[in-house]
Amino acid sequence: MSWMSAASWLILLSTSCILAGCEPSTRRIQFREEIQLHDEQKLIAERVLTIKVLGEIGGPGGWEPLSESLEIIGPQHSDHPPKWTSPDGLVPLLLDRAPDTSQWAMIASFIMCDPWVKYGRPKVPYIEFRVRDGQWQRVEFSPVWLGRKTNVFSGIRSSGEPPMLSIEDKQKRADSRTAKWYVQIEDHWLGGC
């Protein structure tokens, strides 16, 4: 293969990749969202995700969470939970106070199988965390959450999100293709792991 044909091949591949929408393998997404608690109180959360882009040529493109954080930044008062972080590929679905103890609780799930395996292959697709001694700690999943609608946005686009998602924005983006266990806390799931 001559140098000229190698250069032509490289240009062709580069152009094809640009036209097909090839993207970098990882991306940082940052946005804010409004979260409504069970008692109707509304909070503003800062979300930061690092994702692995799983684009399909000509397709919608998916993503795998690599790390994520959620921090309540408003309204300003001292009763907010600490910043929640997951370096394990978990996705937050529900933030609220536990009805049985009033502790802050986070219900998270997984998109990929690795976190499911890492967390012991739970029978329901959720991992529960509660604030104890000022820190998030994993606890056994409590059935008090069954039937609750999720309030943390999970339909994040791999291309990113607008700077702020209101509750109304999240409702408009609700998609009938979203797995039911990401919309409401269920005691069963049809996981493929």
Q: Quick one: pLDDT band at residue 2, thresholds 50, 70, 90?
A: low
pLDDT on residue 56: 62
Angle formed at CA 94 by CA 165 and CA 70, multiple of 5 degrees: 60
d(CA 168, CA 173): 9
- Neighbouring CB atoms inside 10 A of 47's CB total 19
**What's the pLDDT at 158?**
87
Q: Does a cis peptide bond (omega within 30 degrees of 0) precede residue 163? A: no
Residue 9 has a pLDDT of 43
The predicted structure's pLDDT at residue 13: 46
Instruction: Indicate the pairing of strand 26-36 with strand 164-165.
Output: parallel
- Model confidence pLDDT, tens digit, residues 12-46: 444 444 444 555 589 999 999 999 999 999 999 99
**Range in 5-14, 71-80, 88-97, 172-181 with the lowest mean pLDDT:** 5-14
**In the chain, which residue ranges form alpha helices assigned H by DSSP?**
3-20, 113-118, 167-172, 180-183
Contact 141, 124 (CB under 8 A): yes
pLDDT recorded at residue 179 = 83
pTM comes to 0.84
Average pLDDT of the segment spanning 82-88: 95
CA distance 127 to 115: 10
User: Which SS3 state, helix, strand or coil, does residue 173 take?
Assistant: coil
pLDDT more than 70, % of the chain: 83
Does 161 score more than 80 pLDDT?
A: yes
Report the chain's mean pLDDT, rounded to a whole number: 86
Give the residue from 72, 66, 55 showing the smallest Cα distance to 152: 72
Highest mean pLDDT among 99-103, 128-132, 154-158, 174-178: 128-132
**pLDDT (mean) for 71-80:** 90
Domain chopping of the chain, boundaries: 24-183
Q: Who has greater pLDDT, 21 or 175?
A: 175
Three-class DSSP category at 136: strand
